[in-house]
């Protein structure tokens, strides 16, 4: 079963710092990887989608990388702001599960707090 791990579980940084969130997965036969943001009591907002053939995607202050062979992805947030405070979830689609072509397999998330 595809296992997705996110480190750290929680992170607190002062405003303005650059930071990196880590995601690892056990089965490298993935179709793609997606990073989400979840605010308390809310649904998931898609941030970046990286297809298996790609190595990185960028959107504004966010940059996500993918190293499929080693089973790792990082989400880099530049010049963090208090509004970035949320839980960040990594999810992969693919692996050797029966639902590998359909479902996203999620990590438990990294809870980020950016202090003013």
Q: List the beta bridge partners of residue 50.
A: 33
Least spacing, CB of residue 63 vs other proteins, in Å? 17
List 3, 10, 20, 46, residue binding other proteins (CB under 8 A): 46
Subset of 52-71 contacting other proteins (CB under 8 A): none
Report the residue number, 18 or 105, with the smaller CB distance to other proteins. 105
Quick check: helix, strand or coil at residue 83?
Answer: helix
Quick check: helix, strand or coil at residue 15?
Answer: coil
Residue 41 interacts with other proteins (CB under 8 A)? yes
Other CB atoms within 10 Å distance of the CB of residue 43: 7
**Residue 34 near residue 46, CB atoms below 8 Å:** yes
In 3D space, the residue among 55, 67, 58 whose CA is nearest the CA of residue 22 turns out to be: 67
Subset of 83-112 contacting other proteins (CB under 8 A): 89, 91, 93-94, 98-99, 101-109
Report the residue number, 77 or 91, with the smaller CB distance to other proteins. 91
Residue 8: is the preceding peptide bond cis (ω within 30°)? yes
Name the site residues for other proteins (rule: CB under 8 A).
Answer: 4, 31-32, 34, 36, 41-46, 49, 51, 89, 91, 93-94, 98-99, 101-109
């Amino acid at each position: 079963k595809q296992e997705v791990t996110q480190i750290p579980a929680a992170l607190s940084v002062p405003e303005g710092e650059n930071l990196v969130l880590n995601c690892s997965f056990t089965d490298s036969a993935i179709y793609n990887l997606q990073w989400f943001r979840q605010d308390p009591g809310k649904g998931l907002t898609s941030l970046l989608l990286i297809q298996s053939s790609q190595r990185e995607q960028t959107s504004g202050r966010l940059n996500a990388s993918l190293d499929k062979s080693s089973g790792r992805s990082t989400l880099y947030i530049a010049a963090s702001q208090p509004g970035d405070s949320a839980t960040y979830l990594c999810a992969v689609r693919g692996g050797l599960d029966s639902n590998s072509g359909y479902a996203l397999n999620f990590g438990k998330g990294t809870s980020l707090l950016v202090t003013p």
